[in-house]
């Protein structure tokens, strides 16, 4: 029984089902769609956001689904210059 439990724990950890879901994978950072409360994407580190997306303001980047900044951006938008406004 202990082996089964240990195996299950390892599988859950490796599959990403353990703990909060990360916004992006390793080597990526999240960006927000311009003038949108729902749009977002992940961009490889070292690359600029694609057209129609901007970086989050410093200190306001969500890291996990449902975290403080993820829920904050449900009611706020960013314009093409990264200026914040209520939705």
**Rounded to whole angstroms, how far apart are CA atoms 87 and 72?**
11
CA torsion 46-67-81-58 (nearest 10°) is -60
Mean pLDDT of the chain: 85
HSE, side-chain direction, 13 A CA sphere, residue 56: 22
First to last CA, the chain: 52
49 Rama class: left (phi>0) / alpha (psi -120 to 50) / beta: beta
Q: pLDDT (tens digit, 9 = 90+) per residue, 59-81?
A: 999 999 999 999 999 999 999 99
Q: Is the pLDDT of residue 15 over 80?
A: no
Check residue 17 and give its pLDDT.
52
Q: pLDDT (tens digit, 9 = 90+) per residue, 42-60?
A: 999 999 999 999 999 999 9
Instruction: Output the pTM of the full model.
Output: 0.76
Place of tokens 């202990």: 2
The more confidently predicted of residues 17 and 42 is: 42
């Amino acid at each position: 029984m202990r082996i089964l439990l240990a195996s299950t724990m390892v599988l859950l950890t490796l599959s990403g089902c353990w703990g909060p879901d990360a916004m992006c994978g390793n080597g990526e950072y999240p960006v927000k769609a311009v003038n949108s409360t729902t749009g977002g994407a992940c961009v490889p580190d070292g690359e600029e956001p694609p057209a129609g997306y901007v970086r989050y303001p410093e200190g306001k980047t969500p890291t996990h689904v449902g975290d403080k900044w993820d829920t904050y951006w449900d009611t706020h938008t960013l314009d093409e210059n990264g200026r914040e406004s209520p939705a």
